[in-house]
């Protein structure tokens, strides 16, 4: 069932949905600042030109965010390679789920590491399904997959995380 959004202003809508969109953008960008830029660019484009389109606004925005991130990666790939060669890859990559003001617990680090080890296809399905609460049909539309493939990747991701994060109890 599609939700209808009649927000009073773009600020209200963005305050409600921005954090989830930013988490998605982090999947497809190198750092937090790139993710913020991608979300802003995609949101402005959506609000000005696409919000009258049929369909779920959040799913449309996520698709736009993904495309914007891919475009950014293409534009920056040569520059990034040069920078990494020149500094010997000394710049540390931001964690995908770095909340700026929160201290990471050991368990948080374990979960983040496990998420990083998932294949990117599984990680993005997991993020879209859990954090953005999209249906498998919406996830499939966003990523260009069938709903069944999206569901399979989600199940594989959960199984891999469960296996990796469940402590072994002997005795």
pLDDT for 169 beyond 70: no
Average pLDDT value for residue range 132-156: 90
- pLDDT per residue as tens digits for the range 11-46: 887 888 888 888 888 888 888 888 899 998 888 888
Same domain for 110 and 69: no
CA distance 52 to 6: 11
Q: Which DSSP string do the residues of 11-26 spell out, in sequence order?
A: HHHHHHHHHHHHHHHH
Same domain for 82 and 134: no
pLDDT for 97 beyond 80: no
Average pLDDT value for residue range 114-128: 88
Q: Is residue 2 part of a domain?
A: no
Is 74 in contact with 30 (CB distance < 8 Å)? no
Structure tokens at 164: 């990796």
Q: Is residue 96 part of a domain?
A: no
Mark which of 89, 118, 145 sits at the end of a domain: 89
Domains of the chain: total? 2
For 156, what's the count of Cα atoms within 13 Å in the CB-facing half-sphere? 15
The closest alpha carbon to 58, from 115, 141, 155, belongs to 141
Q: Is residue 95 part of a domain?
A: no
Is 55 in contact with 2 (CB distance < 8 Å)? yes
Q: Is residue 98 part of a domain?
A: no
Stronger pLDDT, 116 or 148, i.e. the higher one: 148
- pLDDT per residue as tens digits for the range 56-70: 777 788 888 888 888
Same domain for 148 and 122: yes
Same domain for 163 and 119: yes
The CATH number of whichever domain residue 131 belongs to comes to 1.10.10.10
Stronger pLDDT, 96 or 23, i.e. the higher one: 23
CA distance 46 to 67: 12
Range of the domain at 108: 104-171
The CATH number of whichever domain residue 24 belongs to comes to 1.10.1740
Same domain for 83 and 11: yes
Average confidence score pLDDT of the chain: 77
CA distance 164 to 160: 6
Q: Which residue has the tokens 């199940």?
A: 155
Same domain for 81 and 29: yes
Stronger pLDDT, 140 or 16, i.e. the higher one: 140
Res 157: pLDDT: 92
Structure tokens at 169: 């109890």
Of the chain, the percentage scoring pLDDT greater than 90 comes to: 13
Same domain for 85 and 13: yes
């Amino acid at each position: 069932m599609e939700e209808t959004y009649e927000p009073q202003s773009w600020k209200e809508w963005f305050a409600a949905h921005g954090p989830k969109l930013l988490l998605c953008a982090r999947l497809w960008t190198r750092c937090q600042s790139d993710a913020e830029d991608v979300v802003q660019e995609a949101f402005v484009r959506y609000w000005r030109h696409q919000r009258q389109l049929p369909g779920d606004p959040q799913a449309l925005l996520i698709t736009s965010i993904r495309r914007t991130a891919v475009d950014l990666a293409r534009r920056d790939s040569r520059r990034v390679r040069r920078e990494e060669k020149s500094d010997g890859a000394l710049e540390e990559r931001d964690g995908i789920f770095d909340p700026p003001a929160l201290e990471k617990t050991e368990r948080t680090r374990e979960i983040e590491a496990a998420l990083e080890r998932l294949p990117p296809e599984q990680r993005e399905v997991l993020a879209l399904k859990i954090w953005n609460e999209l249906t498998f049909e919406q996830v499939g539309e966003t990523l260009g997959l069938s709903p069944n493939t999206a569901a399979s990747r989600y199940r594989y991701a959960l199984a891999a995380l469960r296996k990796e994060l469940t402590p072994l109890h002997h005795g």
